[in-house]
Amino acid sequence: MISNPITWPNGARCAVAITFDMDSDSFLHVENPTSADRMIATTSWLRYDQIAVPRIVKMYEKYNIRQTFFVPGWCAERYPDTVKAIMDGGHEIAHHGYLHEHPNSFSANEEEYWFMRGIEALEKMTGVRPRGFRAPMYNFSKHSAELLSREGFLYDSSLMGDDIPYLIESSLGQLVELPVDWSMDDWPQYTHNPDLHYTMPINSPDRAMDVYLAQFEAAWEYGALWLAVWHPFVSGRLARCSRIDKMIQYMLEKGDVWFAPLEEIANYVNDEIAAGRYTPRREPLPFYDGTIPELSILK
Ligand code: ZN
C-alpha cells in the first residue's frame, strides 16, 4: 500500500502523534474583530482549553508519553498558566500563528509580520524557539515554506499529501512534512456553533473513534504515521477525553507503536535520510505561481 515505507524505531509498526491545537478564543477575534467581545458563551466554550489542557497533560503523564501542542503566540500571552502546564509535562510547543490568522490571506510581508510575532511570543514564554509549524486552519501560503526555512524550522504539519513523512522544498531550503488529513481532525466530528456559522450533528465519541481507529489499524498494518489534529476545547470534553484515554490503552496493548512529539519524529526522519536508509518523496512548493494557463481565456 505504501511504495516507499520508512522503518520506524525499535521495530514499531507505526508512529503515533496526538497533536492538540490550543486555539482558545484567538480565532474568534480574528473572524469577528468588532463583535467577539459580545460572544460570551462562545468565548467560554473556547476557553474550556483551561480545563481540558491540564486534563490531557495528566492523561499523558499516566501513560508516560510526550506529545506536541500547537499554540498561537497570543494564547501563550493570554493563558500562560495553561501553557505552563504543557511545558511542565515535558511536551513540545510548536508554532500555530499569532492570533490564528490565515497566512494564505496575506501578502508575504503581512504573513512575515504575524509569523515573527508568533515566534517571539512562544520563545518568550518557553525559552525555546519553536521548530515546528502548523498553519491555522491548514491555510499554508505560497510563501510559508520559504519563511519556515529562512527561520530555521525543522518541520511543517499543515499539508495533506501522503501517509508518511515527506520533504517540501522551496527556494530557501527543505523541511520535513508530517502530513495531516481532515479525517483525523476532531472539528468535523464534534463541533457545532451558530456564532461560527458551523452547525453540524454532533457524533458520539465512539463514532468519532471509529474514524480515527480505522486509520490507526491501517497505519499499524502498513507502517504509516498516525497523526491526530485535535483541540482541547473539543476533544478534551469529559466523554471524549475519557474515550481517548481508552484509545491510548488500546494502542499500548496492541504494541509496537511509537508515541512521539513531532519534533522527535522529524529528527528521526532526517537521521534516516542522512544514513541512506530512507528516500522520501520530495515536493517543490508552491504548486502553482498563479492561474493555470489553460484558464487564461477567462482573463
Ligand atoms: Zn488551530
For residue 99, report the distance from its CA to the centre of ligand 1, in Å.
10
CA-CA distance, 113 to 119, in Å (whole number)? 10
Q: Residue 172 Cα, ligand 1 centroid: separation in angstroms? A: 26
Q: What is the pLDDT of residue 52?
A: 98
Structure letter (DSSP) for residue 292: -
Q: What is the pLDDT averaged over residues 159-177?
A: 98
Packing angle between helix 80-88 and helix 49-63, nearest 10 degrees?
Answer: 0
- Non-local (6+) Cβ contacts of 238 within 8 A are none
Q: Around Cβ 77, how many Cβ atoms within 10 Å?
A: 16
- Rounded to the nearest angstrom, the distance between the alpha carbon of 136 and the centre of ligand 1 is 5
What gap in Å lies between CA 85 and CA 119, rounded to an integer?
19
Q: What is the pLDDT of residues 174-226, one digit of tens each?
A: 999 999 999 999 999 999 999 999 888 999 999 999 999 999 999 999 999 99
| Distance between Cα 169 and ligand 1 center (Å) | 24
Apex CA 248: angle with CA 244 and CA 250, to 5°?
110
Centre of ligand 1 from the C-alpha of residue 100, in Å: 6
Q: What is the pLDDT of residue 299?
A: 65
Distance, CA of 295 to CA of 288 (rounded, Å): 13
Å from CA of 236 to ligand 1 middle: 15
The alpha carbon of 215 and the centre of ligand 1 are apart by a number of angstroms equal to: 22
- Per residue in 9-23, pLDDT (tens digit) is 999 999 999 999 999
Q: Measure 176 CA to ligand 1 centroid, in angstroms.
A: 20
Which residue pairs from 203-207 have beta carbons closer than 8 angstroms and sit at least 24 positions apart in sequence? 205/239, 205/240, 205/242, 205/243, 206/243
The answer to whether residue 29 scores a pLDDT higher than 90 is: yes
Query: What CATH class has 9-298?
Result: alpha beta
pTM: 0.97
Confidence of residue 298 (pLDDT cuts 50, 70, 90): confident
Neighbours of 143 (CB within 10 A): 22
The three three-digit cell numbers of residue 295, written as one number: 484558464
Q: How far is the CA of 180 from the centre of ligand 1 (A)?
A: 13
Distance 253 CA to ligand 1 centre (A): 31
* Cα-to-centroid distance, 191 and ligand 1 (Å): 13
- Give 71 Cα–ligand 1 centroid separation in angstroms: 8
Residue indicated by cell numbers 492561474: 291
Tell me the CA–centroid distance for residue 276 and ligand 1, in Å.
Answer: 35
Task: Give the whole-angstrom CA distance, residue 14 versus residue 258.
Answer: 6
Residues of the chain with pLDDT > 90, as a percent, come to 96
CA of 256 to the centre of ligand 1 (A): 30
Segments making up each domain of the chain, as ranges:
9-298
Torsion of CA 106, 110, 113, 119, to 10 degrees: 10
